[in-house]
Amino acid sequence: MGIEISSQTCKFYLKTSMDKKISLQEKANYIREEIIRVAVSNGAGHIAPSLSCVDILVSLYYACMSFRADDPLWEDRDRLIFSKGHGCYALYAILADKGILPRQEWECFYKEGSTLSGCVERRVEYGLEAGCGSLGHGLPIAVGLAFGGKLQKKRFHTFCVSGDGEFQEGTTWEALQFAVKHQLNNLTIIVDFNRLQAMDFIVNVLDKEERDLIKRLEGFGLLPIIAPGHDSEQIAEAIKKTKVSSGSSPKVIIAETIKGFGLKCMENVPRFHFRVPTNEELSLGRTYNKNAKL
């Protein structure tokens, strides 16, 4: 079932303003700390779905996507539709780190005066391509962008980051049917496969078994790439392959993740879908090195 990405050495390094080289994983840990810092101090829930997709987004923004931080409206930019809108803290933290989203907007997120939504609203000048949060409607937007890009012979690639639970909602399957029919090989769907859907495990909601989604995707003639969702290096490698692939199908990456990844109190705990951790819960610690200096 699917293609398993195996562990191998594949280094993507980033340069900081101090001309220091850091790894994607170090950057991902920094973004995790940013999410926890701002969300906890501002009292914002939805930390767990945000921590789930940090490595996916870091791989996209620091290793794979073409865009111009000083020109968010650049016509040939790769498009990202962030369909699992409730995990948007990860996206905001990265856009602020990139200088696309004003730092102050991120710092005051969820407080009076903030103009950022608790889900994503379309603000292309801030790098937010589409409003998402009513789940199951990001993929059709991405499919429309990819189809339009093909019709206009544009070179940009479209990415859609979806939750696994939202494949039970909206117009996801209709969009996928269209994408396969029209051979949208300029579209990559990355599924944050954390096996949780809001406050419960997906097997308790609609699926008979954990890998039902993969079987359904294979029924569309797709061959999902399965990657470890908290290994930025391997996700980036998988994404880069889909971007240059000469095949005629849209590509799907199943990133196997853990909801709430990084916080010991939160990992795989359904009640933390929205709940903000207490100081006592935070004191249980991290599952990564939070002291890495960038």
Least distance between Mg ion and beta carbon 193 (Å): 7
Nearer to Mg ion, 107 or 256 (CB): 256
Nearer to Mg ion, 165 or 277 (CB): 165
Least distance between Mg ion and beta carbon 165 (Å): 4
Please state, in angstroms and rounded to a whole number, the distance separating the CA atoms of residues 135 and 205.
15
Least distance between Mg ion and beta carbon 144 (Å): 24
Least distance between Mg ion and beta carbon 142 (Å): 18
* Element spanning 15, H or E: strand 13-15
Nearer to Mg ion, 162 or 242 (CB): 162
Nearer to Mg ion, 2 or 163 (CB): 163
Please state, in angstroms and rounded to a whole number, the distance separating the CA atoms of residues 233 and 25.
7
Nearer to Mg ion, 98 or 211 (CB): 211
Question: Which residues are within 8 A (CB) of 211 and not within 5 positions of it... i.e. 6 or more apart?
Answer: 1
Least distance between Mg ion and beta carbon 195 (Å): 7
Least distance between Mg ion and beta carbon 271 (Å): 15
Nearer to Mg ion, 101 or 176 (CB): 176
Residues within the interface to Mg ion (CB under 5 A): 163-165, 194, 196
Distances (CA, A) of 192 to 49, 84, 96, 235, 269: 9, 9, 22, 11, 16
Find, among 158, 129, 154, the residue nearest to 76 by Cα: 154
Three-class secondary structure of residue 173 per DSSP: helix
Write down the residue that tokens 């996916």 correspond to: 56
Q: Where are the beta strands (DSSP E) in 164-220?
A: 187-193, 196-197, 200-201
